[in-house]
Amino acid sequence: MKWQWISGLLIVLGLVSLTVTTQAADDKKKSEEIPLDSVTGMKMAGDWELVRNNCIVCHSAQQFLRQKGTLVTWTEIVQWMQKDGGLWPLQPELEKKILTYLAENYGPSDAYRRAPIPATLMPTNPYESKIRKEVEEKRKAGLIPVKKP
C-alpha cells in the first residue's frame, strides 16, 4: 500500500514538472519569436516605437524591461509618474497603446519574479521605533506635509 502511494505521488510530481517545463519552454519560445531592438532591448511588437519615443525620454528602457505587470499595474505606474515624476499628460489613445504594449510584452509570467508578499505575512520591521511610528501616523493623518521629490 505504501509503495502504491509513493508511486502515485511520483507520477503526479512528474506530470507537474512536465507541465511547468512545457510552460517555461512556451514562454521562452514566445519571447524568441519577437525580435528585440538592438539599441533598447525592447520587444519590437505592436506599438513599441510609441513606448520607446515616450518612455526613454526620461529613463532607460531597462526601467521597464526588468519589471513585470498587469494592465492595472502599468496604469498605476504611469499615473504615479504623471503625479510625482514629471510625466506629461498623455492623450488617452496614446496612453492606452503604451499600457497595452507594456502589459502584453512585459506582463506577469512564470519565468520571472514572484508576486509581492502580502503585508499581513511580512515579519515585523526591526528598525521600527516608537518615534518613527508616531511620525508615520502623523503623516498619514495629514499633520506633517509630504515632501515631493
- Residues 22-44 have a mean pLDDT of 75
Query: How far apart, in whole angstroms, are the C-alpha atoms of residue 108 and residue 26?
Result: 14
Question: What is the distance of C-alpha 113 from the center of its chain?
Answer: 8
Q: What confidence score (pLDDT) does residue 36 get? A: 94
Distance (Å, whole) CA 15 – CA 3: 18
- pLDDT score of 14 more than 80: no
Q: What is the pLDDT of residue 32?
A: 65
Q: At 97, is the pLDDT very low, low, confident or very high (cuts 50, 70, 90)?
A: very high
pLDDT of residue 68: 86
Mean pLDDT, residues 132-136 taken together: 80
- State the helix-helix crossing angle for 92-105 and 48-55, rounded to 10 degrees: 110
Residue 143 predicted with pLDDT over 90: no
Each residue of 101-115: pLDDT tens digit? 999 999 887 665 666
